Amino acid sequence: MNYFKYLNLIILLFVFTFYGCSNSTENKPKDQVVQKQSLFAIKNVNIIPMTIENNLIENATVVIENKKILSINESIPNGAKIIDGTSKWLIPGLIDMHVHTNADLNFRENTPTQGATFFMDTQDVMTTYIVNGVTTIFELGGRVEHFAQRNEITKGKVIGPRMAIAPMINGGDPNNGGRTVNTASDARQAVRSIKAEGYNFVKAYSSLNMESFQAVVDEAQKQGLKVVGHIPDAFKGKTEKAFIPNFGLVAHAEEFSKQIRNQPKTKKEAQYFAQLSKENNTWLTPNLIAIVKIRDQVQSLDSIASMESLKYVHPLLQDKWLHSNNYHKHSSPEFINYLDSLIVFHKEMVVAFREAGVPMVAGTDAGVSGVVTGFALHDELELLVDAGLTNEEALISATRLPSEWLKINEIVGTIEVGKYADLLLLDANPLENIQNTRKISGVFANGTWVDRNKIDKMLSELAHWNTSMKEKYKWKNRRKY
Ligand SMILES: [Zn+2]
């Protein structure tokens, strides 16, 4: 069947070419910067700390000083900006464990003095995360431009999430670009290069052969890097051979379904995959939303056109999603049936992995056509609950557990004294209804307070700029940029 090959091609095109896009900085307001105020007190708030015990703390006072949680239920220092938390709920900032963030790129060819030719406004790229309470992202198509974005955030020039960054290693045709390895020794060298370039993670991709994949995972362990990835196609029929120590996280439930593409996909297969993962201590990012969005746009592009969040997407990508949509181009009843079967099976997998005790983390594949950064994480949480997680388990999958996998649980992931103030203030209790994570009253991102007014202003400015630039950015003209 061609779908699979085709999907891969899309993903490759996506990874290599198009998750950069850009804004020029013309007419950009300069006020979206980290504020000077560094002392805050949230009063009368209900805290859902997301610690292992997760005991609710009602009507609490939380003091934030110099980006960190200074105290809970102690006195309020002079000079604190007071935030009224009455009838509101405080949860840790959310973590999206699978994103592809737009960044500067080159649609043409490098010249001796020019790399990127197409630039984007980093704040615009990060706004959709922050206004949705996504305060940490795991970038799974990491490249040097993402380091540049991270520096802008760290320097306080941009309000954005913490960024964990994993660059990709793939196999196959070296002319495909990127880090392509087809032998174990090349695989090991690629991992050492990744380490030398300053990355902490490696993403293994679909076209690696068996020996190269195993060498990537093994060398990464020697170098102290964690591996997230696809399960390469080469493992079909012997999936268990991919489950070796240090293969830490499978990036989509779909990786498993691709292994049994033309075979039955029942509870039995789901349980087998859960067992493989459990025995190897490999976690799963189910990534339910991407397949749902793909299915919808294969059926009809109205699903894209009618998206409320589309206006927050860069106009170049809006144009691509609507007028050069490769998923929709290959629409057929068989393709839709196949995607429907995946949607059913992936829910089954969430149940099986939960029963087996395999930790699952929330991730969206945002950046893929129809999956909007920031907004999509709330969709994913709903789908996880729909699949069978409790509201609390869904929240755990987007807070404490990802912080543990990324090894940043000492600084974020729960609400505790001494941790950084990555916080989401909600108008309603998400333990009662997971949709309440969308009712955002304000966000603390690394101690910077973004209240509802500011969120609305950031969103309207972004939508306004994107809309005003629609005629300027057309996908068919991208090589000219
Ligand atoms: Zn992805």
Q: How far is the CA of 241 from the centre of ligand 1 (A)?
A: 23
With a cut of 70, say whether residue 32 has pLDDT above it: no
424 CA distance to ligand 1 middle (Å): 25
The structure tokens listed for 303 are 């699903």
To the question of domain 2-32+93-170+251-409 being in CATH 3.20.20, the answer is yes
Centre of ligand 1 from the C-alpha of residue 126, in Å: 18
Task: Look up residue 53 and give its two tokens.
Answer: 């015990």
pTM summary value: 0.93
Residue 465 alpha carbon to ligand 1 centre in Å:
27
Q: 134 forms bridges with which residues in the sheet?
A: 94
Ligand 1 centroid from CA 251, angstroms: 7
| Mean pLDDT over the full length of the chain | 93
Residue 100 Cα to ligand 1 midpoint, Å, equals: 6
CB atoms within 10 A of CB 163: 21
Going from the Cα of 451 to the center of ligand 1, the distance in angstroms, rounded, reads 31
Cα(252) to centroid(ligand 1), Å = 8
Could you give the CA distance from residue 196 to residue 115 in angstroms, rounded to a whole number? 21
CA distances from 452 to 422, 445, 463 (A): 16, 14, 16
State the distance from the centre of ligand 1 to the C-alpha of 324, rounded, in angstroms. Answer: 19
pLDDT digits (tens, 9 = 90+) for 372-386: 999 999 999 999 999
User: b/e per residue, 120-156, with b = 16+ CB within 10 A?
Assistant: bbbbbbbbbbbbbbbbbbbbbbbbebbbebbebbeee
- What's the 25 CA to ligand 1 centre distance in angstroms? 28
- State the distance from the centre of ligand 1 to the C-alpha of 416, rounded, in angstroms: 31
- Cα–ligand 1 centroid distance for 202 (angstroms): 13
Residue ranges of domains in the chain:
2-32+93-170+251-409
- Residue of 352, 184, 177 whose CA lies nearest to 253: 352
pLDDT at 480: 85
Taking Cα atoms as reference points, which of 74, 159, 83 lies closest to residue 426? 83
Strand stretches in 119-211, DSSP E: 134-139, 162-165, 168-170, 179-180, 201-204
User: Could you tell me the distance, in angstroms and rounded to a whole number, from the CA of residue 479 to the centre of ligand 1?
Assistant: 24
What's the CA-to-centroid distance between 250 and ligand 1, angstroms? 11
| Residue 251, φ and ψ in degrees, nearest 5 | -80, -15
User: Quick one: CA dihedral 49, 54, 59, 61, positive or negative?
Assistant: negative
Cβ neighbours of residue 301 closer than 8 Å, sequence gap 6 or more: 322, 325, 328
Distance from first CA to last CA of the chain, Å, rounded?
A: 36
- Tell me how crowded residue 344 is: count the other CB atoms within 10 A of its CB: 10
Could you report the per-residue pLDDT of 233-290, keeping only the tens digit for each?
A: 999 999 999 999 999 999 999 999 999 999 999 999 999 999 999 999 999 999 999 9
Residue of 134, 140, 131 lying closest to 95 (CA atoms): 134
Distance CA 396, CA 127 (A): 24
